[in-house]
Structure formats: structure tokens, C-alpha cells
């Protein structure tokens, strides 16, 4: 038989011709009920090297002769299932025996049909009501087994599971009975594509660092690290005894277990023992964010071991930053942990509460940092395909993707999409992928969607200022500078300068897309978008600048974005810079920015040469500030600057996550400005870098590394006798440009640099560059 595989010329998506059917267990009682499996037997000949191709509606876990296939988690993954569903391929050589074999595919509700979205707008059966599996076992060119009407079904020991719910498992039900048959579903196998990114897998597990008993006799374990994953327990006891495991990110006063911020996510597991010796259990079809676990035992049982198993799609670390200030090092580590926990199939806001959605705004501010810390190319490309699928007809980009609201207008009658700063993800994320990986194809693939987004922005603007509506679901609504730490920051109250921030993003996306059109050789679009960008720039200056160079919205976010994206006209430059400085000084170096201002703040200050201010803001220990949370023991990045108050009180548990990577976007500044390694858009994918470190004496020394497509780059500086010694190691295939302006007494590898040049090119290898600190 002919097993054809095809690769899409533009997207690179791989499809295969399936002979199998998508089969649904007849025993399945629907969302939230006991989970089911489908099974069949097959014969394999001696020396067979069979391969399994498999996917599902819902989540699956496959077993051959009772042994698990592969170690991937949460397969087939999460996408807009109405557009694409991933399939996986596994080599079965070591599992299949000569003669009779049995395959079981256990199914879980997963993202497909367990609760999505928060309680008051909960979506059940988001992508469909029936879970099902499709599989083929292929040996050479022969299909030796395929899912079809002849398969049997039954109920599994997973008595309930859901992404937010957690899992219940009754080990007494492990002897599977085939009590039902299957229905062949009407399913288009063209929807199936080879998994576009790395599989989710377990990272190294963590043992508890501390445990204690609460007043109700329950054990609480502290794993020392907030992470996305699950707990694995080793237990012994009598049949029918139960272990209930609950999760939390924080403790309240007197070490009280506090999971109020999970909202309607039960995020717990309940294991019922079979009572046969030592039993080990970890949930199959769920995960949650947690640092603490609390166990309650009903009946006769004993916990012999308990571990935290963090999971992630991005398991390899691709970059690091370290300096003489330990709180900063912890901040970088916290960012990495927030990335791991939230890069589970889709870049999500948080891994714990009844949300865990692929928020576009969070992803767009964090994409640069994400690519420094991990190889995120395929992960973010996959996400962008979902974002494009969810883009509305009018060009509005979703607030999050995969977007459950798009398919459930019964619950969300007004379309909820199209916020500035969020929808711009369709422009800024492909650009980061281009910078980091030289990925021109993703620019091409997303370009039409960018143009539609820009037309949408134009349509909600008013020649071309955008005045966002205050109506939560209204056309042109903007999250603004979400969670800006000024006054009451609950929406729909405007954050400072919503219109200004929206108009800034209107400009940013037009200008960036013009640049992208240039890369793609589309000159007509480039011209058109540049003109549009110029119109917005002129209107921006007219609308927001006073005659003396002060911005109408005299706040950190407006100045940071305006300077970073070159919207400050030359005649106002110095005055605006002075205003920017005084806004920060008046705030006593406390951060005044939210989701979109924060990533821009320090890069803008460094760009302006105001590194003294950048240093003070960055190292400020007070709230709001990055290091405040580190000093309060955070092991991941918090959603809110003030998530735990100075007196230990937990701020608004209704919306308060302790694992939200957005503010960790500051790491991009550490790599690019402080360590000074900047990817060059004219030679992307690190074919060329610019080296321009900002010397912040309070950091003592800094060192970064990053694994690029050409090899590893190392860069760092230390201060000796009033001189900065900047040491870099450049791999072959990377050109490094060192700008000379602003450096005094510059020496390169022991020789004075030639004056009169704007920059010099460093050859591959290790270099020592010295200059006066005062000249920085």
C-alpha cells in the first residue's frame, strides 16, 4: 500500500494519507465523566520494525502490551483543533512482539472538551463533544493495523480528568474491560499535521525541601520551586483508600495553604489505591502550576514518596545571564521557570487558574526574551498559525489563541478580539523569529495577516489616533497598559494614556510591517505602510506633544514607547528626555508601567544613554519593581507587581497569578543592552551582531551566553580600576560589529582602537575590549 507524506510548500506543514478512521468509544458518557479507551489486537511478524502514527480528539496515551508508547505528555498537543490537530509518530520496535499484540489508546477530555475559560463564561466541549482516536501501525509499506469500526472500547481507571479540574484515578479499575464498540466519526484527515514543535516532556523532578502538617492533619510539601507540571506519588495502603492532592503557589499567614487564586480550577488529583504493594501514580491528562502540594488521606494509606514533576515544551536552555547581584540572577532564573511553565504547547498567561490561555499580548512582549532563553522557533511558529486561524474577518487578532470564544458566540455574543498591544503579536512575534533564527518564511506566512491587522487598526482609528472604547467587548477596546501600578488598575477603567499607547502601537506595527515588506521584497506595500506610519507619526506629534516637548500623557509608558520607537521629533528630543527623566525621578525610581510599557522602559532609557536611571529603576527593591518579588521569595515571575503586599497580604486573589512571564521580558534588555549583544536585522539569525554593552557598575560584573544557529556566543564585562573589560567570544559564521562612538580610551585585544571609524568588525574568536567606565 502506498503511504504518502506531503510537505506544504509555504508552511512546511507535513501531512500524510491516512487509511484509518477517527473512532469514538461508545461507552463514553461525555465531558467530565469517566474516561475511556479504544483497543485492538494485531499480529506482527519476526523482525518487524513497526511505526505508530497516532492522534486524537482530546488527549491520548497509547500502550502496547501494557507498556507505554513514548514519553511525550499531553499528546496530541493543543492547537485550534478546528484548523489543525497534531499527530505523532513512534517507533514500536522495542514494544511489539512476534505474533499477537494488543494496543490500547486511553483518552482524556483535555483542552478539547474540558472546561475552558473562567467560571462565569465557562466553555465546555469547546471543540466537540466526542473524544476519539485515530491510529495506524505501519511496517515498511504495509499498514498492519488501523483504527476502524472493528475496534472495541471500554472505560479506563481515570474516573475524571480536565485541564483545570485535575484528575481522579481509581487503581482498582485497572483491569480493563472491553464493554463497548466504537463509532466511526465523520472526520477530515487533512486536518492532521505532524506535530509542529517539540513534545511536552517531564523535566527533572524536585523533591520537597520542607514539609509540615496543618491543623487538620494534612501534610503540606514545599518543593522550593513554582512550576507547571504535576505531582508523582508513591503510596502503600489498603484497597479503596484515597490520597487527595491539592496544589498552591503561595502560603498565607502562618504558612496557610492558599489556592484562592486558582478560581474555579479545582487543580487537584485523587488517587484510589488498589491495595497491592507499592503503587506509583502521576496524572495522565492534566497539569497545573504549583509550588506546594497538600495531601489528605482517607482510609489506610501511607505516602512513601512525593515529587514535583515540572513539564514543558521547551526543555533545553539556550541562554543564560549572570551578574554580581544575586537577586538579578534569581530574577533571570524565575523568568526561565515562568517560560517553562507557560510554554506547554501554547504560550499561556499562567499555568494554574481557570485561564491558561494563549494571550497574545503576553506572548508578544515576551517573545524576544523567550528566544534568548530557549529555542522557541517552532513553538512560536505553531502558535502564530493558531493566531492566524483565530483572526477575525475584519482583521481583528484574537486576545488569545486557540480562542474558545470564537467558537462559542452563545456565551460570547459580542466578538472579543482586536486589542492594541495584544493583536500586534501578529507583527512582533514573527519579527523576533526573523531576528533570532533568520526565519524569513514565517514573515511570508504571516504577512497577509499583518496587513489585515493593520487595516483593522486603521478602521478603528480616527485619522489615525486610536481612542479605545471603554466597553469591555466593544470594537476597538484596548487592554491598554494592563496592570499599570497606578491607582485602581481594574479594567474597563483606562490605564494612563490608553489612547496614546494604542496610537503608539498603531505606529509600531505599521513601521515594522513596512520593514518586513522590505525584507520580503514587496516594495509597493513597503511604500504604502511607510506613508501610513509617517501619517501616524505626524498625528502623534500633533496630538500628544506640547510645544515645550512634554507628552500629554506624562507617564513612563508613553515616554518609553515614544523614545524606543523614534516618535519623538528632533526639536522636542532634549526636552522630552528631561521630562522622561523627571517622571522617573519623581516616582522615586519606582516602575510606573504595565504589560506593554514595562518591556520598553529600560531599553528606552539605555537607548537614550540614561543608564544611571535604568540601573536605579532595575535595582530598586521597593514595590513596584522587579527585585521586590525576588526578595519576597518569588521563584517565578508574578502577574502583579504587588501580588504579595509588604505586610504579607495576598492582593486580590481573583486575579493574581504567581507565574506570569510578561514582566520577565526585562531579560531581553539584560541580554541586548546590559550584556550588549544585539541581533542585527540586516543579517538575521545571528549572522551579524552589534556589541554595545551598557556598563551598570552596581551589577559588578555580567556574563551572558547564548546558543545561536552558528554556535555559542559569550559576552560579559567586569570593572577594573575605572575601566570596563568587555570580553566576547564569537563563533565562526558570526560577524560582530563594535560601535566606537561614546567610548573613551578604547583598546581592543591590548591595542588602542583606531580613531575616526564609526565601528569595527571583530573576527570570530575571543576578544578583550577595554574602555573607561566614565565614558559609557
Residues assigned a catalytic role: 355, 639
Provide the 10 A C-beta neighbour count for residue 186. 7
Distance CA 702, CA 716 (A): 5
Cβ-based nearer residue to ligand BGC, 399 or 515:
399
The least distance separating ligand BGC from the CB of residue 358, rounded to whole angstroms, comes to 10
Looking at the Cβ atoms of 24 and 457, the one nearer to ligand BGC is: 457
Residue 391: what are its φ and ψ, rounded to 5°? Answer: -60, 140
Closest approach of Cβ 228 to ligand BGC, in Å? 14
Stretch in the footprint of ligand BGC (CB under 6 A) among 3-11, 283-291, 349-357, 455-463: 349-357
As a whole number of angstroms, the distance between CA 691 and CA 27 comes to 63
Query: Stretches 131-139, 303-311, 359-367, 571-579: which one binds ligand BGC (CB under 6 A)?
Result: 359-367
CB of 399 to ligand BGC, least distance (A): 6
**Of residues 191 and 495, the one with the C-beta less far from ligand BGC:** 495
Q: Is 177 left (phi over 0), alpha (psi -120 to 50) or beta?
A: beta
The stretch near ligand BGC (CB under 6 A) out of 48-56, 279-287, 353-361, 533-541 is 353-361
Among 28, 355, 498, 499, binds ligand BGC (CB under 6 A): 355
In angstroms, give the least distance from the CB of 422 to ligand BGC.
Answer: 7
Q: Select the span of 80-88, 175-183, 348-356, 462-470 touching ligand BGC (CB under 6 A).
A: 348-356
The C-alpha atoms of residue 564 and residue 649 are separated, in whole angstroms, by: 36
Of residues 279, 349, 375, 390, which one binds ligand BGC by CB under 6 A?
349
Sole residue written with cell 523535566: 203
Distance CA 52, CA 80 (A): 24
Query: What CA–CA distance (Å, rounded) separates 659 from 637?
Result: 5
Q: Which is nearer to ligand BGC, 230 or 658 (CB)?
A: 658
Q: Which of 456, 482, 540, 663 binds ligand BGC (CB under 6 A)?
A: 482
Q: How many residues bind ligand BGC (CB under 6 A)?
A: 9
Using CB under 6 A, pick the residue from 165, 343, 479, 626 that binds ligand BGC.
479
Binder to ligand BGC among 111, 292, 359, 412 (CB under 6 A)? 359
Determine contact, residues 579/554, Cβ cutoff 8 Å: yes
CA proximity to 155, closest of 168, 165, 145:
168
Q: Which of 220, 196, 192 is nearest to 208 (CA)?
A: 220
Q: Where are the alpha helices (DSSP H) in 193-325?
A: none
Of 264-293, binders to ligand BGC (CB under 6 A) are none
Q: Which stretch binds ligand BGC (CB under 6 A): 347-355, 579-587, 665-673, 744-752?
A: 347-355
Taking the complex as a whole, the smallest distance from the CB of residue 429 to ligand BGC amounts, in Å, to 14
Shortest distance in whole angstroms from residue 349 CB to ligand BGC? 4
Q: What are phi and psi of 468, to 5 degrees?
A: -60, 145
Nearer to ligand BGC, 105 or 496 (CB): 496
Q: What number of CA atoms fall less than 13 Å from residue 426's CA on the CB side?
A: 35
Q: Which three cell numbers stand for residue 324?
A: 554580581
Which among 74, 302, 289 is positioned nearest to 202, based on CA atoms? 74
Q: What is the DSSP letter of 414?
A: S
Considering only 289, 361, 464, 468, the residue that binds ligand BGC (CB under 6 A) is: 361
The β-bridge partners of 297 are 243
Residue whose C-alpha is closest to residue 676's, from 710, 722, 713: 713
Label the pairing between strands 67-68 and 465-466: unpaired
- Cis omega (within 30 of 0) on the bond before 492? yes
- Name 590's Cβ contacts closer than 8 Å, sequence gap at least 6: 485, 617, 620, 622, 623, 624, 625
Query: Does 351 participate in binding ligand BGC (rule CB under 6 A)?
Result: no
Cell numbers of 187, please?
472526520
Q: Residue 269: which residues within 8 A CB-CB, separation 6 or more? A: 166, 167, 168, 169, 230, 231, 244, 245, 281, 283, 286
Q: Would you count residue 481 as binding ligand BGC (CB under 6 A)?
A: no
* Nearer residue to ligand BGC within complex by CB, 345 or 355: 355
Of 108 and 347, which has the nearer Cβ to ligand BGC?
Answer: 347
Q: Please list every residue from 634 through 673 that binds ligand BGC, using CB under 6 A.
A: 660
| Nearest distance in Å: CB 563, ligand BGC | 24
State CA 163 to chain mean position distance: 17
C-beta neighbour count of 70 within 10 angstroms: 18
Q: Alpha-carbon Rg of the chain, whole angstroms? A: 27
Closer of 236 and 491 to ligand BGC (Cβ): 491
Minimum gap (Å) between residue 472 Cβ and ligand BGC: 11
DSSP symbol at 338: H
In this chain, which stretch among 354-362, 434-442, 502-510, 599-607 interacts with ligand BGC, using CB under 6 A? 354-362
Least distance to ligand BGC, CB of residue 352, Å: 11
Q: Which listed range, 88-96, 292-300, 358-366, 523-531, lies at the site for ligand BGC (CB under 6 A)?
A: 358-366
Our finding on whether 362 is near ligand BGC (CB under 6 A) is yes
DSSP letter string, 67-84: EEP-S-BSTT--S-TTT-
**What 3-state DSSP class applies to 312?**
strand
Q: Quick one: 351 or 361, whose CB is closer to ligand BGC?
A: 361
Q: Which is nearer to ligand BGC, 320 or 361 (CB)?
A: 361
CB of 263 vs ligand BGC, minimal distance in Å: 10
| Identity of the residue, 165 or 479, whose beta carbon is nearer to ligand BGC in the bound complex | 479
Residues making contact with ligand BGC (CB under 6 A): 349-350, 355, 359, 361-362, 479, 482, 660
Amino acid at each position: 500500500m502506498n503511504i504518502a507524506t506531503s510537505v506544504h510548500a509555504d508552511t512546511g506543514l507535513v501531512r500524510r494519507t491516512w487509511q484509518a478512521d477517527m473512532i469514538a468509544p461508545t461507552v463514553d458518557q461525555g465531558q467530565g465523566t469517566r474516561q475511556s479507551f479504544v483497543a485492538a489486537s494485531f499480529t506482527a511478524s519476526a523482525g518487524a520494525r513497526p511505526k505508530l502514527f497516532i492522534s486524537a480528539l482530546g488527549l491520548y496515551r497509547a500502550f502496547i502490551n501494557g507498556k507505554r508508547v513514548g514519553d511525550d505528555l499531553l499528546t496530541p498537543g493543543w492547537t485550534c483543533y478546528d484548523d489543525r490537530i497534531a499527530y505523532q509518530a513512534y517507533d514500536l520496535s522495542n514494544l511489539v512482539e512476534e505474533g499477537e499484540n494488543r494496543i490500547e489508546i486511553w483518552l482524556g477530555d483535555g483542552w478539547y472538551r474540558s472546561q475552558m475559560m473562567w467560571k462565569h463564561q465557562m466553555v465546555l466541549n469547546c471543540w466537540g463533544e466526542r473524544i476519539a482516536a485515530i491510529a495506524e501501525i505501519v511496517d515498511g509499506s504495509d499498514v498492519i493495523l488501523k483504527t476502524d469500526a472493528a475496534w472495541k472500547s471500554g472505560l479506563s481507571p481515570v474516573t475524571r480528568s480536565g485541564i483545570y479540574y485535575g484528575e481522579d484515578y481509581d487503581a482498582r479499575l485497572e483491569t480493563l474491560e472491553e464493554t463497548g464498540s466504537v463509532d466511526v466519526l465523520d472526520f477530515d484527515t487533512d486536518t492532521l499535521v505532524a506535530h509542529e514543535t517539540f513534545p511536552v516532556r517531564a523535566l527533572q523532578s524536585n523533591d520537597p525541601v520542607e514539609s509540615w502538617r496543618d491543623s487538620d492533619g494534612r501534610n503540606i510539601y514545599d518543593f522550593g520551586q513554582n512550576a507547571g507540571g504535576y505531582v508523582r506519588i508513591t503510596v502503600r495502603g489498603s484497597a479503596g483508600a484515597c490520597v487527595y492532592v491539592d496544589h498552591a503557589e503561595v502560603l498565607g499567614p502562618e504558612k496557610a495553604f492558599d489556592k484562592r487564586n486558582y478560581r474555579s480550577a479545582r487543580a487537584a488529583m485523587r488517587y484510589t489505591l488498589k491495595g497491592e504493594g507499592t503503587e506509583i501514580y502521576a496524572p495522565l491528562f492534566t497539569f497545573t502550576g504549583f509550588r506546594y502540594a497538600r495531601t489528605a488521606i482517607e482510609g489506610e494509606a501511607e505516602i512513601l514518596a512525593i515529587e514535583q514533576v515540572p513539564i514543558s515544551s521547551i526543555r533545553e536552555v539556550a541562554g543564560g545571564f549572570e551578574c554580581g547581584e544575586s537577586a538579578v540572577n534569581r530574577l533571570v532564573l524565575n523568568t526561565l521557570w515562568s517560560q517553562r511553565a507557560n510554554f506547554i504547547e501554547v504560550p499561556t498567561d499562567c499555568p494554574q487558574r481557570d485561564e491558561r490561555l494563549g494571550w497574545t499580548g503576553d506572548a508578544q512582549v515576551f517573545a524576544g526574551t523567550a528566544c534568548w532563553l530557549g529555542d522557541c522557533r517552532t513553538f512560536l511558529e505553531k502558535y502564530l498559525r493558531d493566531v492566524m486561524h483565530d483572526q477575525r474577518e475584519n482583521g481583528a487578532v484574537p486576545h488569545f489563541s486557540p480562542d474558545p470564544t470564537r467558537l462559542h458566540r452563545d456565551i460570547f455574543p459580542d466578538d472579543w478580539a482586536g486589542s492594541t498591544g495584544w493583536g500586534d503579536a501578529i507583527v512582533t512575534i514573527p519579527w523576533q523569529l526573523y531576528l533570532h533564527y533568520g526565519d524569513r518564511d514565517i514573515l511570508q506566512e504571516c504577512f497577509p495577516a499583518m496587513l489585515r491587522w493593520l487595516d483593522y487598526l486603521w478602521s478603528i482609528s480616527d485619522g489615525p489616533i486610536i481612542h479605545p472604547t471603554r466597553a469591555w467587548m466593544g470594537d476597538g477596546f484596548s487592554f491598554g497598559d494592563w496592570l499599570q501600578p497606578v491607582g485602581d488598575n481594574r479594567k474597563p477603567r483606562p490605564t494612563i494614556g490608553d489612547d496614546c499607547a494604542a496610537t503608539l502601537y498603531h505606529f509600531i506595527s505599521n513601521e515594522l510591517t513596512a520593514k518586513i515588506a522590505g525584507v520580503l521584497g514587496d516594495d509597493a506595500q513597503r511604500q504604502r505602510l511607510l506613508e501610513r506610519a509617517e501619517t501616524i507619526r505626524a498625528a502623534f506629534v500633533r496630538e500628544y506633544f506640547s510645544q515645550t516637548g512634554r507628552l500629554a500623557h506624562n507617564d513612563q509608558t508613553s515616554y518609553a514607547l515614544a523614545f524606543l520607537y523614534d516618535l519623538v521629533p528632533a526639536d522636542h528630543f532634549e526636552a522630552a528626555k528631561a521630562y522622561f527623566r523627571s517622571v522617573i525621578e519623581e516616582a522615586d525610581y519606582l516602575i510606573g508601567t504595565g504589560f506593554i510599557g514595562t518591556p520598553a522602559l529600560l531599553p528606552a532609557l539605555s537607548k537614550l544613554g540614561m543608564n544611571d536611571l535604568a540601573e536605579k529603576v532595575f535595582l530598586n527593591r521597593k514595590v513596584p519593581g522587579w527585585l521586590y518579588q525576588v526578595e519576597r521569595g518569588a521563584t517565578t515571575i508574578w502577574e502583579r507587581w504587588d501580588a504579595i503586599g509588604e505586610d504579607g497580604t495576598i492582593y486580590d486573589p481573583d486575579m493574581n497569578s504567581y507565574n506570569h512571564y510578561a514582566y520577565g521580558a526585562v531579560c531581553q534588555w539584560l541580554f541586548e543592552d546590559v550584556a550588549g549583544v544585539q541581533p542585527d536585522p540586516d543579517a538575521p539569525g545571528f549572522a551579524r551582531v552589534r556589541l554595545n554593552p551598557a556598563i551598570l557598575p552596581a551589577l559588578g560584573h555580567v556574563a551572558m551566553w547564548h546558543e545561536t544557529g552558528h554556535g555559542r556566543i559569550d559576552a560579559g564585562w567586569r570593572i577594573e580600576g575605572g575601566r570596563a573589560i568587555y570580553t566576547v567570544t564569537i563563533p565562526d559564521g558570526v560577524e560582530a560589529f563594535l560601535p566606537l562612538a561614546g567610548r573613551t580610551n578604547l583598546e581592543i585585544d591590548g591595542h588602542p582602537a583606531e580613531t575616526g571609524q564609526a565601528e569595527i568588525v571583530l573576527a570570530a574568536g575571543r576578544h578583550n575590549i577595554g574602555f573607561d567606565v566614565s565614558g559609557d
